[in-house]
Amino acid sequence: MKKILSVLVVSNTLFRGDCLIVNEPNEDVIRDFIVTWSNLDANGLAEYFTDDGIYHNMPMEPVSGKENIRNFIAGFIQPWTNTTWDILSIVSKGDIVIAERLDRTSAGEKKVDLPCAGVFEMEKGKIKILRDYFDSNTYFKAMN
């Protein structure tokens, strides 16, 4: 009887209607990755990717391989003085995580609040492919 009650309590805690309320491990990795951008550390950010990972800012060409991703991020964030990425919504299932964000970035006096959506394909707890969707005109207009 005690085991049955324990299962019912756990089931009631985890389920709300038809929805399971549990963060999947891949979702937690992506939450950490998004927070890590505020450190402006290309080395730390590149470590979230697999060695053969792909980072594709959709308005640009994809970047392949951890070292190339590290160099790309370093160049991209070089003028930034501050960035904070706010998660607006996040969903995950298995090896796919989708995060809608508002990326708030400053480069000295220049500032942009950039709506983004990132689609992450995961492999063994690392980012295998990241496709980031945003309007590049919004970013470049604010930063130039």
In the numeric block, which tokens belong to residue 14? 């985890």
Q: What's the mean pLDDT when you consider all of the chain?
A: 88
What is the reported pLDDT for 23?
61
Q: Is the pLDDT of residue 20 over 70?
A: no
Question: For residue range 71-94, what is the model confidence (pLDDT) as tens digits?
Answer: 999 999 999 999 999 999 999 999
* pLDDT of amino acid 24: 87
Residues 88-138: tens digit of each pLDDT: 999 999 999 999 999 999 999 999 999 999 999 999 999 999 999 999 999
DSSP letter assigned to residue 134:
-
CA–CA dist 12, 45 (Å, integer): 37
Note the maximum CA span of the chain. Answer: 68
Q: Measured between alpha carbons, how far is 26 from 8 in angstroms, rounded to an integer?
A: 27
Tokens of 24: 């999947």
DSSP 5: H
pTM over 0.85: no
Which CATH number describes the domain made up of 23-143?
3.10.450.50
Domain borders along the chain are 23-143
